[in-house]
Amino acid sequence: MTTVVALTALLFGAFIAPPDVVQGNAQRLMYLHVPAAWTAYLGFLIVLLASLGVLFTRFRRSSDVARAAAEVGLALTALTLATGSLWGGLTWGTWWAWDARVLSTVAMGLVYTIYLAARSLADEERGAPGVAVLGVIGFAIVPVVHFSVLWWRTLHQPPTILAPQLNPPMDATMLFTLGAAVLAFTMLALMAIALRTRGLAEGSVDVNQHSALHRGSTSERALQ
């Protein structure tokens, strides 16, 4: 299913959807840039929910889910910035602009880089609640990024899909292609988070087993 959706989005995005009247084929980057940004938001929402799980349930797997989601979200943030830079270079004539949306997106990436650094340095048990608090507070940057185009003057256009009009001002084929791309990115991101969470859980089991064996061998030598 994921493969079919991804191939459909790729086919329509590259060949079938019409080029933009003003931007031409450069607009096709939208089918990477927008889904990457939205799916990064989703990853960070999962960090928020999993961090709440750490704080209120102390379920061990929640910490792994939060870390996996932060890693995937951070990778998607980097993809958002890269595709945005390329798109800006082709349409605005500049690869970088001191723009509210750009700067807030960079800030979002820094927030979750700090989160992952804290997660790697903190003690697995005693440090987990503190890192989870950071995961909850850090989500505050996400609405700042999303609404930056409304709160400040920016080169980015206001919302299109969620515009006040009943009918989004977008060609139907473009809208279908964008929807397919968002769905494909979402499915791939959730799959990546699930696989990474499983890997982290298996790694924790191996570490715990190794520690138990080490303690057992140390106890045996002490008794000899």
pTM exceeds cut of 0.75: yes
Asked if residue 217 has pLDDT above 60, the reply is no
Asked if residue 129 has pLDDT above 80, the reply is yes
Q: What does the pLDDT look like over 146-167, one tens digit per residue?
A: 999 888 888 877 766 655 454 5
From the number of C-beta atoms within 10 Å of its C-beta (0-12, 13-18, 19+), residue 184 rates as buried
What average pLDDT does the structure give for the chain?
Answer: 88
Asked if residue 214 has pLDDT above 50, the reply is no
Residue spans of the domains in the chain: they are 2-158+165-223
**Cα dihedral angle (171, 182, 84, 148), rounded to 10 degrees?**
90
Contact 158, 169 (CB under 8 A): no
- For 42, phi then psi, to 5°, come to -60, -45
Contact 62, 51 (CB under 8 A): yes
Work out the end-to-end distance of the chain between its first and last CA atoms, rounded to an integer number of angstroms. Answer: 60
Asked if residue 55 has pLDDT above 90, the reply is yes
Please state the rounded mean pLDDT for residues 37-48: 97
| 221 vs 82, more confident | 82
Looking at residue 123, what is its pLDDT? Answer: 79
Q: Smallest Cα–Cα separation from 34: which of 157, 194, 172?
A: 157
3-state SS record for the chain: CHHHHHHHHHHHHHHHCCCECCCEHHHHHHHHHHHHHHHHHHHHHHHHHHHHHHHHHCCHHHHHHHHHHHHHHHHHHHHHHHHHHHHHHHHCCCCCCCCHHHHHHHHHHHHHHHHHHHHHHCCCCCCHHHHHHHHHHHCCHHHHHHHHHHHCCCCCCCCCCCCCCCCCCCCHHHHHHHHHHHHHHHHHHHHHHHHHHHHHHHHHHHHHHHHHHHHHHHHHHHHC
Contact 31, 8 (CB under 8 A): no
Domain 2-158+165-223 has CATH 1.20.120: yes
